Amino acid sequence: MYDYPLYRPPSESNSLIIQVTLGCSHNKCNFCNMYKSKKFTIKSFEDIKTDVNYFREMYSHVEKIFLADGDALIIPTEKLKEILTLIRNTFSECRRVTLYGTPKSILGKTHQELKELKDLGLYMIYMGVESGSDEVLNDINKGVSSNEIIDAARIVKNADILLSVTVIAGVGGIEKSDIHAIKTGKLISDMAPNYLGVLTLMVEEETDLYNKILKKEFKLLSDREILNEIGILIQHINVNESVTFRCNHASNYVSLRGSLPEDKEKLLNQINYDLKTNQIKQEEYRRL
Ligand code: SF4
């Protein structure tokens, strides 16, 4: 039923996954090989309908649905509305439908279009931001600027759709660690997403970043430096609206969770404690 590899956010572990696209519409970030094996395709409505009917027969109760793959929001709005309507008619018990949306795909939708998608059940958009530094965004070939990311966040929030974003600790390397952390903190302050997930850079072979490391054009951070960078990031997040903060992905060395702004000091104290008590070993470098 699925075209592998298949990815979904950790918080969608209990969701039914329906593939409506294959691959990622961008597929050019220098650290990412998630969808390198796939040519980006929007599946036909008939194929999606076949999958939906199959899942209906398989599962008697489905409360959450995640639309995969990498950038389901890029689907033209009329077709996405048809898909959401099909889901609503088929899974009347479903409480929420979520998907990944790149900043470019979000910017390709009008306020009215997002409102219509929200009214048909689109509950939350997951957006990979990675960094708030334009230099780093350029280095990693993200294809968008920090201002475009802020505009995309505003459009989503104005449509009353929840926004969950991820950033990547270490993605600027040693050289740009400080600027990456500071600018990302400021970007998050401007976006005020509902959820913020901090991942840690994992280097995969067969990526441009891997080759840069081999050529010594990019230096990875040690465990301690990553944790220190996350501390600087948190210091620079100043929000009035509540942001649920998570740094407990499998890629992270320590597990941090809380709500900003109220848990800011608690999170910073935990980082300092972990650094001081050598929870993170001295200068333990990741692979390579
Ligand atoms: S937008 Fe996301 S899935 Fe696509 S290449 Fe970049 S990191 Fe990978």
What is the rounded average pLDDT for all residues in the chain? 95
- HSE, side-chain direction, 13 A CA sphere, residue 175: 8
- Contact (CB, 8 A) for 250 and 200: no
Nearest CA to ligand 1 atom 6: 29
Calculate how far, in angstroms, residue 72's C-alpha sits from the geometric centre of ligand 1: 12
Cβ–Cβ contacts within 10 Å for residue 145, how many? 13
Nearest CA to ligand 1 atom 1: 26
The tokens 């404690």 sit on which residue?
A: 273
Which residues share a beta bridge with 197? 166, 246
- Distance, in Å, from the CA atom of 176 to the CA atom of 138, rounded to the nearest integer, reads 12
Among 26, 167, 203, say which to mutate for ligand 1: greatest number of ligand atoms within 8 Å of CB.
26
pLDDT at 248: 82
pLDDT at 254: 83
Percent of the chain with pLDDT over 90: 91
- Contact (CB, 8 A) for 233 and 196: no
Pocket of ligand 1 (CB under 6 A): 24, 26-29, 32, 34-35, 70, 102, 128
Sorting pLDDT into bands at 50, 70 and 90, what band is 288? Answer: very low
* Per-residue pLDDT tens over the stretch 179-221: 999 999 999 999 999 999 999 999 999 899 999 999 999 999 9
Calculate how far, in angstroms, residue 146's C-alpha sits from the geometric centre of ligand 1: 16
pLDDT at 1: 85
| Secondary structure string (H, E, C) spanning 74-108 | HCCHHHHHHHHHHHHHHCCCCCEEEEECCHHHHHC
Sorting pLDDT into bands at 50, 70 and 90, what band is 252? Answer: confident
pLDDT at 287: 42
Q: Which atom of ligand 1 is nearest to the CA of 27?
A: 5
- Contact (CB, 8 A) for 160 and 118: yes
Q: Which domains does the chain have, with CATH numbers?
A: 10-276 (3.20.20.70)
Helix (H) or strand (E) holding 257: strand 256-260
* pLDDT exceeds 70 at position 283: no
Q: Which atom of ligand 1 is nearest to the CA of 28?
A: 5
Nearest CA to ligand 1 atom 5: 27
pLDDT higher at 31 or 254: 31
Distances from the Cα of 202 to the Cα of 29, 168, 169, 209, angstroms: 13, 9, 10, 10
- Contact (CB, 8 A) for 117 and 169: no
Q: Which atom of ligand 1 is nearest to the CA of 142?
A: 6
Among 6, 7, 25, 27, say which to mutate for ligand 1: greatest number of ligand atoms within 8 Å of CB.
27
Nearest CA to ligand 1 atom 4: 27
Calculate how far, in angstroms, residue 129's C-alpha sits from the geometric centre of ligand 1: 10
Nearest CA to ligand 1 atom 8: 32
> Picking from 63-72, 96-105, 277-286, which range would have the lowest pLDDT averaged per residue?
277-286
Calculate how far, in angstroms, residue 83's C-alpha sits from the geometric centre of ligand 1: 23
Phi, then psi, of 134 in degrees rounded to 5: -65, -35
Smallest Cα–Cα separation from 188: which of 122, 230, 125, 243?
243
Calculate how far, in angstroms, residue 112's C-alpha sits from the geometric centre of ligand 1: 26
- Distance, in Å, from the CA atom of 11 to the CA atom of 8, rounded to the nearest integer, reads 8
Sorting pLDDT into bands at 50, 70 and 90, what band is 101? Answer: very high
Calculate how far, in angstroms, residue 99's C-alpha sits from the geometric centre of ligand 1: 14
